[in-house]
A = this chain, B = another copy of it.
Amino acid sequence: MLMRTQATSTKQGNFRHPVAGIGKAATLSGSIEMMGASMPFARNVEVYGEDEPAEYVYKVISGAVRTYKLLGDGRRQIGNFYLPGDIFGLEAGEHHRFTAEAITDSTILVIKRSAVVSLARSDRELSHQLWQLTAQELEHVQTLLLLLGRKNAQERVAAFLLEMADRVPAGNAVELPMCRQDIADYLGLTIETVSRTLTQLEDAAAIALPTSRRVVLRDRAALNRLNG
């Protein structure tokens, strides 16, 4: 568990064109975006680190992001994957509690947290949305809890595939942006177990694997059954 081939994360990414515009009925998924700047992040580059001050809120424009915590000896637990349209990095406190990294080359909208929070002071709707966003994050993590605490490898992988399929609009085929190690560290397994379980599911005709990164859900009922 100590070796990890993934590139060392170095800070990077340069602002493009910051905009100061402020809408009237600000929403996090809407006009708030005008307050941010679009920034490119290369694959495996860190967006923010655990325990760093939470100065910004982020929104994935393209690409994908993972957030994780590390144990002293390098064991890693991924908390969530963020896909285009997802907001991440919003903290109620002062510091980030996870590290965030681009999984693939990504474009990420970067918004000053203070701008959002101060706008929320006068905008009841926005303020409510901030709470909702934290609550959504909570809901997701609570689902993961049950998975990590009580599900076996098959159930975990099935849940993962169904989750990804739900989050990407594209019908029954999913192009996974993350490698096996990421999936393993999300599901609390090893890459070998993830790989073996995927082939098991393929043998059972529940899925097809045209390439290692592309998964076709062939029998959702079977996967849902595994999902508990």
CA of A149 to CA of B134, assembled, Å: 21
Q: Which residues A129-149 have CB closer than 8 A to chain B?
A: 130-132, 134-135, 137-139, 141-142, 144-146, 148-149
Are A135 and B92 in touch, CB under 8 angstroms?
Answer: yes
A228 within 8 A of B: yes
Which A143-157 residues have a C-beta within 8 angstroms of B?
Answer: 144-146, 148-151
Within 8 A of B (CB), among A62-105: 69, 71-73, 75-77, 79, 91-93, 97-98
Residues of B contacting A121 with CB < 8 Å? 124
Chain B residues positioned under 8 Å from A40 (CB to CB): none
Quick check: is A49 within 8 A (CB to CB) of the other chain?
Answer: no
B134 touches A72 (CB 8 A): no
Most B CB contacts (10 A, CB to CB) among A73, A139, A142 go to A142
**Is the pair B188, A150 in contact by a Cβ cutoff of 8 Å?**
yes
- Residues in B whose Cβ lies below 8 Å from that of A73: 228
User: Interface size for chain A: under 10, 10 to 19, 20 to 34, or 35 or more residues?
Assistant: 35 or more
| B contact residues around A195 at 8 Å (CB) | none
Q: How far is the CA of A228 from the CA of B185 in the complex (A)?
A: 17
A172 CB–B CB distance under 8 Å: no
Q: Known contacts A130-B131, A135-B92, A228-B73; decide if A144 and B146 are in contact (CB<8 Å).
A: no
Chain B residues within 8 Å of A145, by CB: 69, 77, 79, 141, 144-145, 148
Is there contact, CB below 8 Å, between A131 and B77? Answer: no
Q: Known contacts A92-B132, A92-B135, A137-B138; decide if A150 and B71 are in contact (CB<8 Å).
A: yes
Check: A127 CB closer than 8 A to any chain B CB: yes
Interchain CB contact under 8 A, B71 and A151: yes
Chain A interfacial positions (CB closer than 8 Å to B): 69, 71-73, 75-77, 79, 91-93, 97-98, 121, 124, 127, 130-132, 134-135, 137-139, 141-142, 144-146, 148-151, 185, 187-188, 228
A sample of 10 cross-chain residue pairs with beta-carbon separation below 8 angstroms, ordered by A number, consists of: A69-B145, A69-B146, A71-B228, A73-B228, A79-B145, A92-B138, A93-B139, A97-B142, A134-B138, A145-B145
10 pairs of A and B residues whose beta carbons are closest in the complex? A92-B135, A149-B188, A148-B148, A71-B228, A77-B149, A75-B150, A138-B138, A131-B131, A77-B146, A148-B149
